[in-house]
Amino acid sequence: MNSETTDCIRAELVRAARDLGAPPAIDPVLERPRDPAHGEWATNLAMTLARPLQRKPREIAQQLVERLDVTSCGVTHVEIAGPGFINFRLDPAHTARGLAVILRAGERYGHSEEGAGRQVNIEFVSANPTGPLHVGHGRQAALGDAIASLLEATGWTVSREFYYNDAGVQITNLALSVIARMRELAGEPADIPEGGYHGEYIREIAERFVATRGGHARAVLASGDVGSGGALFEEIRRFAVAELRAEQDRDLQAFGVRFDTYFLESSLYTDGRVDDTVRALGATGRTYEHEGALWLRTTEFSDDKDRVMRKRDGTYTYFVPDVAYHVTKWDRGFHRAINVQGADHHSTVTRVRAGLQALDMDIPPRYPEYVLHQMVTVMRAGEEVKISKRAGSYVTVRDLVDWVGRDAVRYFFLMRRGDSQLVFDVDLARTQSEENPVYYIQMAHARMSGIFRVGGIDPASIDPGTSVDTLVEPEEQALIKRLLDFPAIISGAAEALEPQRVATYLHDTAGEVHLWYHKHHVLNEPAPIMNARLVLARAAQIVLRNGLAILGITAPERM
């Protein structure tokens, strides 16, 4: 979208509407008509004014058109269609001149300052340190990272956060599973606990721990108390958590995801945050004792039933540290927080929000925001892949990256809405053809780069002031319009927290690029045509590169 053009048209629509007696607060919406034959832009303003003006939409549309003076906006024709839509046709040369904006902005094209001066915390992945990252974590990593990049592109200051659940029953079971493998190494029967972990990685951790203590499993087991809470048990637990945290970090690095903050659940207990939160909730009068447990009246905040905070055995339920954790986000100044989590966390949304509301801290009712995603089905050779040899019971992120590469994994995870089921076709992701969407997009960028390489031209040397009035072919105009829509796509995707909009846009743009590339030569054309088309090729290269960067995907210059 050329904002100068659309701003000009909107300003004229506002002026004309006020001449008709429209209310002061008018915000005309301009959209691309579904059928390009209807022009470049359309507005339904006449229909939105029908009620306040007490007139028929088509009559209002006629009166608006009579008052409009949009020639300075590059508009050549204004037409009324259907029940009262107003369509605008632009001078092709005027449209093409919008390419200069793209070239001048370069890698900043598509960026805005909508969120300038505001900060947001985005928590994602947050996997328990009990095993390698599975494909569900991978989808979450791609989603969270792309949402963060979208908000950064619109001016927000973003903090990416990983919350380690390094406390609780699952961590105890992790340590017990490692101890069982150590017994196996010592020639004793291995007894994996119920809820324990069976993957090959558990054996590797056991072997590494034994190696740090001289390499004799039997002697290590005899050197201390491996019962729950014993000194050796605690040492093994800490070692296993550290090993798996390091492995998950390596997986995330291979996936190209970084975090600004790693927050440990255990710190909420050691710092007294959980106890402080429980006391604060008690002080509001919304807690009560029942059957030996401590309850919170979450039904006061739209929950379907009250929730147990502290069980009869004195341990806290999961949502209590979650509430304490989000209090730390608020206290750290993150008055906007977004959690990207699996759909299995749906039930925690109401509980956490209810707990925060019950504290009477003036935290907004919908804090934090949640983006929930469905899981991933991996298909290979026409069959579902369910098991990774190393993980034991699931396919890992590293498996996918090893099979198809980081770029394909990221794109496939982002090409559908997060709340839709995703089938990851490994064979398709490895295909070097137009059927593979990420290959199709990257090839479009490579083709634009190839034009400059073959011509021996530095893309950065293309002058934004070059005349582009010759770019009047239908394929050229269609591609230009799509490139000019990029900032609006980024803005909308950021507002909706939907990176798939960018993925879809890039695929559609690549289609326009390939069509133009095949139908029109650039090099060795008459100078006015060649120079104008070099501007278009450079603009397409910039938009494809910038869009892929937001998704965390490379833009190769050769393929």
Q: Alpha-carbon distance 181 to 110, whole Å?
A: 53
Topology (CATH) of 99-112+434-550: Isoleucyl-tRNA Synthetase; Domain 1 (1.10.730)
| Alpha carbons within 13 A on the beta-carbon side of 511 | 10
CB 381 within 8 A of CB 523: no
* Count of C-beta atoms within a 10 Å radius of residue 110: 23
Q: Alpha-carbon distance 323 to 329, whole Å?
A: 10
Structure tokens at 466: 């070059």
Domains of the chain by residue range: 3-90, 99-112+434-550, 169-243
Q: Tens-of-pLDDT digits for all 559 residues of the chain?
A: 567 889 999 999 999 999 999 988 889 999 999 888 888 999 999 999 999 999 999 999 999 999 999 999 999 999 999 999 999 999 999 999 999 999 999 999 999 999 999 999 999 999 999 999 999 999 999 999 999 999 999 999 999 999 998 888 899 999 999 999 999 999 998 889 898 998 899 999 999 999 999 889 999 999 999 988 899 999 999 999 999 999 999 999 999 999 999 999 999 999 999 999 999 999 999 999 999 999 999 999 989 999 999 999 999 998 999 999 999 999 999 999 999 999 988 888 999 999 999 999 999 999 999 999 998 999 999 999 987 666 667 889 999 999 999 999 999 999 999 999 999 999 999 999 999 999 999 999 999 999 999 999 999 999 999 999 999 999 999 999 999 999 999 999 999 999 999 999 999 999 999 999 999 999 999 999 999 999 999 999 999 999 999 999 999 999 9
CB 130 within 8 A of CB 166: no
Structure tokens at 53: 């003006």
Q: Alpha-carbon distance 213 to 425, whole Å?
A: 44
Q: Alpha-carbon distance 559 to 407, whole Å?
A: 13
Q: Please tell me the predicted confidence (pLDDT) of residue 389.
A: 62
Topology (CATH) of 3-90: Gyrase A; domain 2 (3.30.1360)
Read out DSSP for 279-299?
A: HHHHHTT-EEEETTEEEE-GG
The whole model's pTM is what?
0.91
Q: What is the 3-state secondary structure (H, E, C) of 212-256?
A: HCCCCHHHHHCCCCCCCCCHHHHHHHHHHHHHHHHHHHHHHHHCC
Q: Residue type at 413? A: F
Torsion, Cα of 298, 299, 302, 305 (10° steps): 100
